[in-house]
Amino acid sequence: MNVAAAPLTEKLARPAPPAPYGLLAELTHRCPLQCPYCSNPVALDRRDVELDTQSWLRVFSEAAKLGVLQVHLSGGEPTARRDLEVMIRHCVEVGIYTNLITAGVGVTPERLASISDAGIDHVQLSFQGADAPTTDRVSNFRGAHERKLAVAREVRRLGLPLTVNSVVHRANIEQIPAFIELALQLGAKRIEIAHAQYYGWALRNRGALMPTREQVFRALDVVEEARIRLKGQLAIDAVVPDYYAKYPKPCMNGWGRQSLNVTPSGKVLPCHAAETIPSLDFWNVREHSLQEIWVDSPAFNAFRGTDWMPELCRTCERKEVDWGGCRCQAMAIAGDAAATDPACHKSPLHADLLALAERDSHSRVNGYDYRRYLTERDG
């Protein structure tokens, strides 16, 4: 599907979308880890094309004016940006809640104190395993686990709220109880347990990452039991693996409905993996305001609402529950971003998706195709 810019008559007829409330700011693609499940694009933005400080400050001002309430400062590794504290202070000034998403391995106590002083509201810290051998193997970074533990303790010492992030797959899905216990020991108030999503780099490693159906449903039972047991003590958010689902997830709560992503080079995306859809034209904050992009850009309007849906989705009683599911997954599996999400049991490709999961979950692939991220040396 080749999506062109909408003519003026269509713009006038189209109702204005509701204001977004979340912005994912991918400040850089530089990162010290090499996680095989990485969902960043295969082609990374180099340091020399990253938005400069003033451009990011303008983006945050425009976001606040647009209605954004919270910004997630991410990457890559956002602390690789030496101007991070400047950005945090500016977000505070324009009234946006700030959440730092970090791997933690290169963050010193002094830098954390500086980030705290700048006014950061919340820290999310990723763990690739609940123990050192798993974290270090999955991230391909020796000593990563101990560094993360030290950062978590320092975050809590500074009085900052902490969320533990854990992407689960075949190598660590049995560690979910240990992940939950780790979050409690570190004083986190929230843990995010997200099954790997298979696009971009993660798609290359699906054969080594895919858990079995039995593992997945056992994990769901563990999570539900922990939610009941720890209610009021630890919030547990879980992202179910698409390949074993009956219904598709409402990706981003609907394409172009609630949030937007800005890449290191300034492209604005409706979701983190949207660049896997080659037909879409992503406008850049260097040429357009965030308001213009949110309302008028062809990429945001391509799958917004329900008019774009194929008949199977458009006549479904869940069309404004799932919002058509994941467009990137439809692209990856069906080869057509406008197709019914294969995760839906009504999709003609659903059986094929289950067969892929069954095959890969029993594969004997144990080694990873590690993601080589950009570092400071990459210019």
Judge contact between 343 and 245, C-beta under 8 A: yes
Query: What is the pLDDT, as a whole number, of residue 372?
Result: 81
Query: What is the pLDDT, as a whole number, of residue 59?
Result: 98
pTM flag (> 0.85):
yes
Query: What is the pLDDT, as a whole number, of residue 16?
Result: 83
Query: What is the pLDDT, as a whole number, of residue 199?
Result: 86
Q: Which domains does the chain have, with CATH numbers?
A: 18-372 (3.20.20.70)
Report, in this order, helix, strand and coil percent for the chain, each rounded to 5: 40, 15, 45
Query: What is the pLDDT, as a whole number, of residue 14?
Result: 66
Counting Cβ atoms within 10 Å, is residue 173 exposed (0-12), middle (13-18) or buried (19+)?
Answer: buried
Query: What is the pLDDT, as a whole number, of residue 366?
Result: 85
Query: What is the pLDDT, as a whole number, of residue 374?
Result: 62
pLDDT in tens, 52-95: 999 999 999 999 999 999 999 999 999 999 999 999 999 999 99
Q: What is the largest CA-CA distance in the chain?
A: 59
The single residue listed with the structure tokens 């080869």 is: 335
pLDDT in tens, 96-136: 999 999 999 999 999 999 999 999 999 999 999 999 999 99
Give residue 173's identity as a one-letter amino acid code.
I
38 annotated to a ligand binding site: yes
Of 270, 253, 248, 261, which is closest to residue 329 (Cα–Cα)?
A: 248
Counting Cβ atoms within 10 Å, is residue 288 exposed (0-12), middle (13-18) or buried (19+)?
Answer: middle
31 annotated to a ligand binding site: yes
Render each residue's pLDDT in the chain as its tens digit; 379 residues: 344 444 544 554 567 899 999 999 999 999 999 999 998 888 899 999 999 999 999 999 999 999 999 999 999 999 999 999 999 999 999 999 999 999 999 999 999 999 999 999 999 999 999 999 999 999 999 999 999 999 999 999 999 999 999 999 999 999 999 999 999 999 999 999 999 999 888 999 999 999 999 999 999 999 999 999 999 999 999 887 789 989 998 888 999 999 999 999 999 999 999 999 999 999 999 999 999 999 999 999 999 999 999 999 999 999 999 999 999 999 999 999 999 999 999 999 999 999 999 999 999 998 999 988 766 544 4
Query: What is the pLDDT, as a whole number, of residue 166?
Result: 97
Strand order in the sheet with 97-102: 235-239, 190-195, 162-168, 122-126, 97-102, 70-74, 22-26, 259-262, 268-269
Query: What is the pLDDT, as a whole number, of residue 200?
Result: 83
Q: CA–CA separation, 317 vs 228, rounded Å? A: 30
Q: CA–CA separation, 286 vs 95, rounded Å? A: 23
Tokens of 2: 């080749």
